C-alpha cells in the first residue's frame, strides 16, 4: 500500500501507557536521530519522531466507523504499547479528502470502494508532520472491496492492510530492503500491493521503527508538547 506524507506547510507527498522502550538494535551507539535501518524506514524529513501527546482515532462517516472500529481497537492497543502514547478509538466523525492534512494527533479512516481509481486494488494513507516534524495526524483510506465475497480475501490479509496503513499514519514508510527476521517473516511495511501482505500483523522490524520514533524525540531534544 502506498502512502503520501503531507507537510503541514504544503501538501507534498503517520497496550498500556508507559511501555518500556528500548533502543533499536541497528541504531545502537548512534548519537543522532536515525531514520532507517534493516527492514524499516521513517518518513523523514516531514516526520522524524513522535511526541508525547495522545492520539484520537476518528472516522470519515458512520459506515466507516461501523466497519472499522473492531479492527482499530486492536490497532490502537498495539500502537499505544509500541509508542508509549495513548491511542483512543472514538465515535468522532472527521471527514477526509485525499491530499488534505489531518492534524491535531488525529487519524481519520474512510472505508470505501476503490478509493484510488487509478489503482483499484489499493488502500492508502497520507501522514502529516507538524512544525517540529513530529507525527501529527493522518487520513487512511481502506478499500471496501477487500470485503466483497467474490474477492475471497482472507481475514488476516484484511487486518494486515489496516495495520499497514495505520503505521503509515504515525510516520513509517516502505523500507528500502525486505529481509526476513528470525521467525522467517518479512516487514509488514514492505507490501506495495494487497497480495504481498503476509498473514500476520506488525513484525520485529516495525517494532524497531516504532522504538526509533520514540528515541528520536529524545535525541532531537524536542520539548514535550512542542507543536
* Per-residue model confidence as pLDDT tens digits over 162-193: 999 999 999 999 999 999 888 888 899 997 66
pTM of the model: 0.85
Decide if 203 contacts 168 (C-beta within 8 A). no
Tally DSSP H helices, then E strands, for the chain: 3, 8
Domain 2-15+35-216 carries which CATH code? 3.40.390.10
Assess whether pLDDT exceeds 50 at residue 75: yes
The pLDDT-based confidence of 116 (bands split at 50, 70, 90) is: very high
pLDDT of residue 184: 83
Q: In the predicted model, what is the mean pLDDT of the chain?
A: 85
pLDDT in tens, 17-45: 223 333 445 665 567 899 999 999 999 99
Cα separation of 50 and 72, whole Å? 19
d(CA 14, CA 5): 8
Q: Which residues on neighbouring strands pair with residue 135, listed in sequence order?
A: 129
The pLDDT value recorded for residue 181 is 86
The pLDDT of residue 30: 67
Q: Among 13-17, 46-50, 58-62, 152-156, where is mean pLDDT lowest?
A: 13-17
Rounded Cα–Cα distance for residues 202 and 188 (Å): 6
Would the pLDDT of 226 be above 80? Answer: no
**Cβ neighbours of 65 (radius 10 Å):** 20
Lowest mean per-residue pLDDT among 34-38, 163-167, 214-218, 219-223: 219-223
Average pLDDT over residues 196-224: 83
How large is the angle between the packed helices 62-83 and 204-219, nearest 10 degrees? 70
Amino acid at each position: 500500500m502506498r502512502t503520501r506524507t503531507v507537510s503541514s506547510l504544503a501538501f507534498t507527498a503517520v497496550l498500556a501507557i508507559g511501555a518500556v522502550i528500548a533502543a533499536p538494535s541497528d541504531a545502537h551507539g548512534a548519537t543522532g536521530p536515525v531514520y532507517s535501518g534493516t527492514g524499516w524506514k521513517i518518513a523523514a524529513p516531514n516526520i522524524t519522531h513522535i511526541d508525547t501527546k495522545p492520539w484520537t482515532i476518528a472516522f470519515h462517516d458512520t459506515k466507516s466507523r461501523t466497519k472499522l472500529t473492531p479492527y482499530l481497537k486492536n490497532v490502537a492497543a498495539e500502537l499505544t504499547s509500541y509508542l508509549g502514547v495513548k491511542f483512543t478509538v472514538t465515535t468522532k466523525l472527521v471527514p477526509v479528502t485525499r491530499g488534505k492534512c489531518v492534524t491535531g494527533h488525529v487519524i481519520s479512516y474512510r472505508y470505501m470502494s476503490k478509493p484510488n481509481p487509478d489503482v483499484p486494488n489499493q488502500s492508502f494513507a497520507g501522514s502529516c508532520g507538524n512544525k517540529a516534524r513530529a507525527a501529527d495526524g493522518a487520513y487512511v483510506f481502506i478499500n471496501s472491496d477487500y470485503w466483497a465475497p467474490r474477492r475471497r480475501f482472507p481475514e488476516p490479509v484484511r487486518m494486515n492492510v489496516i495495520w499497514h496503513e495505520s503505521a503509515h499514519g504515525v510516520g513509517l514508510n516502505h523500507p528500502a530492503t525486505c529481509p526476513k527476521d528470525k521467525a522467517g517473516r518479512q516487514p509488514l511495511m514492505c507490501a506495495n500491493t494487497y497480495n504481498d501482505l503476509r498473514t500476520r500483523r506488525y513484525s520485529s522490524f516495525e517494532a524497531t521503527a516504532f522504538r526509533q520514533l520514540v528515541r528520536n524525540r529524545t535525541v532531537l531534544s524536542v520539548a514535550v508538547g512542542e507543536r
